[in-house]
A and B are shown apart, each in its own frame.
Chain A
Amino acid sequence: MSESRKEKLEAIDVHVHFGGVKALNGVNLSLQSGDILGLIGPNGAGKTTMVNVLSGFQMPHPGTVKLNGENVSNLSARKMARAGIGRSFQSARLFPKLTVLENLVIPGLGIGLSRRAATSQARDILDWIGYREDPDRQCDSLPYSDERRISIARALALRPSFALLDEPASGMNEQECDRLMQIITRIPQEFGCGVVLIEHNMHVIMGVCHRIHVLDGGKSLAEGTPDEVKKDPKVLRAYLGEQASRPEAVI
């Protein structure tokens, strides 16, 4: 991935309100191609809302989202996908009656590839992610961990500049998590894109992310390398509550 084509995704002073609840309250975030940015925080901190804003499913008001310096805040989810923002979903949301291969062909068609190009790209990604089973199998009969991997593959099939992964490791055991971590670490080199990773599994977050952004109650609490964030008392308190704010406690 040539160094010169560094792309930049920024969220500037993003606010989102649902009825009385302030889901996001002035959050600033930015990453470049090749970065893996972890996005963590207790439940209801605004993580998924942030991904929805970055992927065009939720309009920030006020606040702007910039892709390579260009304001894309009011682009629709479809236009954001074609502009290079691929995402997966917390509940996978694969196309159940379509086959595994077809699920990966759809994003290819979405960005305008021909049927043949989209299919060959889909097969490459299946190999890359280590999926050896029958590609013509319908997704509603996939085992759970395969379903999670294919939902990541589908985001990558969009040839995104930035891949937003929403809790890919949820419900996975330790062994599956390790395999997932290998996949995620290799995404930037293989696809030349940046990754935003929402995850509750600290093991995965600590093992994969270059930087981590911590949200709580819709506000940015801290941002830094995994080691810095691990030691930051504010983060511990938000995560583990009062008694955990003693210095030697470590997550």
Chain B
Amino acid sequence: MTHFIQVLIDAVAIGSLYALVALAIGLVFGVMRLINFAQGDYITIGAYSLVVPSAAATPALMFGALPWPAMILCVILTVVVLALVTERLAFRPLRNSDLTSLLISSFAVSYFLQSLILMVHGGRPKTVSIGDALSRAVEIFGVRLPGVQLLTMVVALTLLIVLVLFLKKTPIGIQLRAAAEDFQMARLLGVPANRVIAIAFAISGILGGTISLLVIIQTGTLDIRMGLMPTIFAFFATVIGGMGSLPGAVVGGYIMGILSVLLQAYLPAELRPFRDAGVFSIVILILLVRPQGIFAKTAKERV
């Protein structure tokens, strides 16, 4: 029984994590038709900002040394600024180019950021420990759960709820959703294009920064490509959920999370390392059955 609860907690924790990244990607895709590879590097740079740039394997803490609230604020601020800068310099000039050029440009920006980290922090993975108080297990209904899992689940869920409320209730949130659905019409009603796109990138920065912290607390290691896998998972979450649909991105995120946790828990021991390969094979099968995704928003191109 405890095994099942453990799997459940894991599924919701990882599902919420992927849902957050998928939302960030879905928002930017909604307002700009851009699948942002660089989202992964926002997460990586957020994590690396915890330490002082050096080649050392266990570097001195930078933001990591600050008290909790200040650390969280600094990391998230770094990533938000980074997201806004990449939008302003790299993506704005490409605003109405075709889907493939946008995809390639985000691929180039991602590579640029990775090389930047390589230059500043060196290539070798590093270890950093923050919030080790959390690694103690926590006792709930007689079940021993690692504190980190609970934290991830709680933070991710609350952030998800806050974001949904923001999108549903606040004027800016409504404008963002309107722009994500019909960008031209939103502008005709006065929604300023530049501001809406900047807000979408800023939100993807906030989500990115939060995920950096959650990942670091869980793994404690800094690696140049740590943001890559969650982002690829989030790509497929948005594609399965239905491109451009924000609820679709969240549902897609949970599907990916639950799939990987289930495979992790129930695959035979020797097949367990092949879990991700299994997840992506299933994802391709889902796309074969339903290419336009679950919440397909855009009707088939009318001739």
Contact = CB atoms under 8 A, between A and B. Distances in A.
B303 interface: yes
Interface residues of A, number: 6
Nearest to A51: B303
Interface in B255-303: 299, 302-303
A239 interface: no
A89 interface: yes
Nearest to B301: A57
A92 B302 CA distance: 15
A81 B166 CA distance: 50
A249 to B, nearest CB: 35
Contacts of B303: 48, 52, 57-58, 89
Contacts of A48: 303
A89 B301 CA distance: 14
Interface string B186-198: 0000000000000
Contacts of A52: 303
A95 to B, nearest CB: 16
Interface in A37-91: 48, 52, 57-58, 89
Contacts of B302: 18
Interface string B223-266: 00000000000000000000000000000000000000000000
A18 B303 CA distance: 13
A48 B299 CA distance: 17
Interface in B77-100: none
A48 B303 CA distance: 8
Nearest to A166: B303
A58 B299 CA distance: 13
A21 to B, nearest CB: 12
A18 B301 CA distance: 12
Contacts of A89: 303
Interface string A201-212: 000000000000
A89 B299 CA distance: 20
Contacts of B299: 18
A8 B237 CA distance: 48
Nearest to A93: B303
Interface of A: 18, 48, 52, 57-58, 89
7 contacts: A18-B299, A18-B302, A48-B303, A52-B303, A57-B303, A58-B303, A89-B303
Task: List the 3 closest A-B pairs by CB distance, nearest first.
Answer: A57-B303, A52-B303, A89-B303
